[in-house]
Structure 1
Amino acid sequence: MSPSATPAGDAGLPAGLAAKIGRLEALLDSIAARHARVKLASSLAAEDMLLTHAILARGVKIGIFSLNTGRLHAETLGMIERVRERYGYEIEQFHPREDAVDEYVAAHGLNAFYESVELRKRCCEIRKVEPLNRALAGVGAWVTGQRREQSVTRTELHEEEHDAGRNIAKFNPLADWTEAEVWAYLRAFDVSVNPLHARGYPSIGCEPCTRAVRPGEDSRAGRWWWESRDTKECGLHLTGVSAIPVVDASRQAPTATGQN
């Protein structure tokens, strides 16, 4: 299937969604124009597949990478091939340092993250945060698929932030999107999604740290389910960010050409 920037089929877009998509596309164009190098950090889940399509189908100058922690579901890894087949794009993969993983396992055990929040966060630091830092080295801005609706830890999420820990810009273009809007977009543009979503996994991380959610639970309840709700972040998005006033990107003309 060739990439398409227009809705598939005759149904078109739900009422009101077209304007939101237009604003998303304008924002992505503006991000690419304002920063020399921009990358999308993709978990290969629904929101990031939406952004992947919005970027690749329109040729936006934003690179895409994923963190291959070594403990992902086979279904998640399979999405890399789905992107390759549809868009002819190779998602860049970053792996944890083998020596750091070996040292952790030798000292604490393969699944020590179940034992305490500290050991779980250390595992996340090794398998996710350190590779993310390498992925973002030399980057002017990064993009995520985070949404305010996803969990109690993200209710104050801003569309544009400053990542103080890395001293770069950070964008969350889907911050105000609802789950229903995300899935309406995916259906309208016939975007491939992780098969685990259909099995009750709205949020997907490492296999041993993710379970299906129960009726009535928030979308991230299946992540590190043995922990308190207010500790459920891996550290990727907790480097110290400050909000930046949002400017309507659809009213701004690009001022520079972005490069991957």
Structure 2
Amino acid sequence: MISSSDIIELSNTYADRSPQDILKLAFEHFGDDLWISFSGAEDVVLLDMAWKLNKNVKVFSLDTGRLHSETYRFIEQVRDHYAIAIDVLSPDPRQLEPLIKEKGLFSFYKDGHGECCGIRKIEPLRRKLSSVSAWATGQRRDQSPGTRSQVPVIEVDTAFSTTETPLIKFNPLAKMTSEEVWGYIRMLEIPYNALHEHGFISIGCEPCTRPVLPNQHEREGRWWWEEATHKECGLHAGNLADK
């Protein structure tokens, strides 16, 4: 088991190693207690790499209840393609229903996406991560230069750890570029979300995601009515250098 005191040394040692090497390290130390986060976008590359190392890889995905129909179909396509179970997490209706009753279905356009994301994403994720020791994400440094440029390949997840049980977070794709990700997808002909064929790059909930124009950064398609510095839902905000 990796202790929190080993993380800085391991992160430095593996900083220039391949995503597969980082995943091998994760599986060696955590085995079946390592969970892969799959968002229905380019995270399929992470999942493909992990599955090739461990056919019994554990995978979860967040169903906010507001995803595009293409994303739901993609999740099922991936489930069938790899013959794996995907633990689909839903929001707690005890929190979601009062929000909708009080503010309606589109309150985020007026008061920001934080409250909605907190209920639809953060709470289900916190619930899931409270029962595991390690998880791996598809975060990349080039996804958002303002907030993800310093993402390490291994870290203690300060957002979801507890004093009693530190949570270890692996970001094997941290150094990969968008071009490298899509080169991998095309070369190996693995499934991808059909929305990518319609100008969508970073894909989230349907009301909060739109296609980007040529030369726009991918995060410009997320929460476009807000300042660029706010373009995080909170899933990774606790680990970002610039918040």
Contact 2:20/2:172 (8 A) holds in 1: no
Identity of aligned residues (%): 41
Match of 2:128 in 1: 135
User: Is the deviation greater in 32-41 or in 194-203?
Assistant: 32-41
1:57 CA displacement = 3.0
Structure number with bigger Rg: 1
Contact 1:32/1:60 (8 A) holds in 2: no
Match of 2:7 in 1: none
CA distance in 2, matches of 1:165, 1:155: 18
Contact 2:40/2:71 (8 A) holds in 1: yes
Structure 1 runs not aligned, ≥5 long: 1-21, 243-260
Write the letter of the residue equivalent to 1:107.
E
Matched, 1:114 2:141: no
CA distance in 2, matches of 1:182, 1:240: 22
1:166 CA displacement = 2.2
Matched, 1:43 2:36: no
How do residues 73-92 of structure 1 correspond to structure 2 at under 5 angstroms? Answer: 73-92=68-87
- As a proportion of its length, which structure holds more helix? 2
1:234 CA displacement = 0.3
Structure 2 runs not aligned, ≥5 long: 1-16, 162-166
TM-score by length of 1: 0.80
CA distance in 1, matches of 2:28, 2:220: 37
How big is the alpha-carbon RMSD for the aligned residues of Structure 1 and Structure 2? 1.9
Write the letter of the residue equivalent to 1:202.
I
Match of 2:177 in 1: 178
CA distance in 1, matches of 2:30, 2:53: 18
TM-score by length of 2: 0.86
Matched, 1:218 2:213: no
Equivalent pairs, count = 220
CA distance in 1, matches of 2:108, 2:209: 12
Match of 2:152 in 1: 158
Match of 2:6 in 1: none
1:58 CA displacement = 3.2
User: Is the deviation greater in 28-37 or in 223-232?
Assistant: 28-37
1:220 CA displacement = 0.9
Contact 1:161/1:241 (8 A) holds in 2: no
